[in-house]
């Protein structure tokens, strides 16, 4: 078992993404808290729209719940849109959301190290907030490059190593996890610092753009809702969100609680 939950295959293919509830709750808590930073799905769609004509064939690798997939469908009007994820539960959500929006697209359940797709099948590909689940992200990037036509564009997105580090200190100060500040970053395998190097192993990197996102948790319950979605800490407190919020109120200074993450976008092309 890896010390990093995001690199532990048992967790990644089990509790973390067996259903879509944890990811939905995490995303909702972060969106409610964000006070600074662009919408990531919009940014990805805009970056691709500047390089890929409408009617392109597009891959969304590690699509999750399909938020970026939907934005790509709306912005690029691709002739073919394929959403790929290793979680069948997340793919069901993506498929349903595409259907509800009247958007055309297909879903493929697959490991991004072994994409069941032909060489040069796509004009563009996105891999957002997923490659840090790979212990060998260069192999995943090689697969993405293989599926792109020569000159095809890719947008790879990740977070900084120190994302949400302020919460490490809060968790430790509240006595919820005494090792909260020493646990490895969830993003250690693929992060803002090594994004360019890893992308450049199989793609030509045109640009890397970075933007700080700031999050403001207004009260202990809001923070507790987020903390219950992150696997980073070893919190053994029972009683769910109410008990966790009560402990935070008792042991921490008064809110708000602020944290940040650097989001980085590599724009690259297949040689």
SS3 call for 56: coil
Contacts of 250 (CB under 8 A, 6+ apart): none
pLDDT value at position 2? 72
- Is the pLDDT at 214 greater than 70? The verdict is yes
pLDDT value at position 16? 92
Question: What pTM value is reported for the model?
Answer: 0.96
Contacts of 14 (CB under 8 A, 6+ apart): none
Backbone angles phi, psi at 145, to 5 degrees: -60, -40
pLDDT value at position 56? 96
pLDDT digits over 34-87, tens only? 999 999 999 999 999 999 999 999 999 999 999 999 999 999 999 999 999 999
Average pLDDT, integer, range 154-171: 98
Mean pLDDT is lowest, of 11-15, 89-93, 174-178, for: 11-15
Which pLDDT band, with edges at 50, 70 and 90, does 244 fall under? very high
Which helix (H) or strand (E) is 47 found in, with range?
helix 40-49
The answer to whether the CB of 262 falls within 8 A of the CB of 194 is: no
DSSP character at residue 179: T
DSSP character at residue 85: E
**E-state strands within the chain:** 34-36, 57-61, 80-85, 106-109, 122-128, 148-159, 204-217, 257-269
pLDDT value at position 97? 97
What domains are defined for the chain? 5-269 (3.40.50.150)
Query: Could you count the other beta carbons within 10 Å of the beta carbon of residue 183?
Result: 17
SS3 call for 53: coil
CA distances from 181 to 166, 169, 170, 220, 263 (A): 9, 6, 9, 20, 21
- Is the pLDDT at 231 greater than 70? The verdict is yes
Average pLDDT, integer, range 129-139: 98
Which pLDDT band, with edges at 50, 70 and 90, does 189 fall under? very high
Average pLDDT, integer, range 119-148: 98
**E-state strands within 141-203:** 148-159
80-85 sheet: strands from edge to edge: 34-36, 204-217, 257-269, 148-159, 122-128, 57-61, 80-85, 106-109
Report the distance separating Cα 140 and Cα 133, nearest Å: 10
């Amino acid at each position: 078992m890896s010390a990093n939950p995001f690199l532990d295959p048992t967790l990644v293919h089990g509790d973390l993404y067996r259903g879509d509830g944890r990811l939905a709750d995490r995303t909702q808590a972060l969106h409610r808290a964000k006070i600074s930073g662009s919408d990531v799905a919009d940014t990805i769609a805009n970056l691709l729209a500047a390089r890929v004509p409408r009617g392109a064939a597009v891959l969304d690798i590690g699509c999750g719940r399909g938020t970026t997939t939907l934005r790509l469908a709306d912005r690029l009007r691709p002739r073919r849109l394929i959403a790929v994820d290793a979680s069948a539960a997340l793919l069901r959500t993506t498929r349903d959301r595409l259907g509800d929006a009247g958007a055309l697209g297909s879903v493929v359940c697959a490991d991004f190290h072994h994409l069941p797709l032909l060489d040069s099948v796509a004009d563009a590909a996105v891999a957002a907030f997923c490659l840090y689940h790979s212990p060998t992200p260069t192999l995943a990037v090689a697969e993405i490059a293989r599926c792109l036509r020569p000159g095809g564009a890719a947008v790879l997105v990740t977070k900084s190593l120190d994302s949400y580090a302020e919460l490490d200190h809060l968790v430790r100060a509240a006595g919820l996890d005494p090792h909260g500040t020493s646990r490895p970053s969830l993003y250690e395998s693929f992060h803002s610092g090594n994004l360019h190097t890893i992308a450049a192993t199989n793609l030509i990197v045109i640009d890397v753009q970075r933007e700080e996102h700031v999050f403001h948790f207004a009260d202990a319950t809001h923070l507790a809702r987020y903390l219950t979605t992150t696997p980073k800490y070893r919190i053994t407190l029972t009683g769910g969100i109410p008990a966790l919020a009560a402990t935070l109120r008792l042991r921490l200074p008064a809110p708000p609680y602020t944290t940040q993450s650097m989001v980085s976008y590599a724009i690259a092309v297949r040689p």
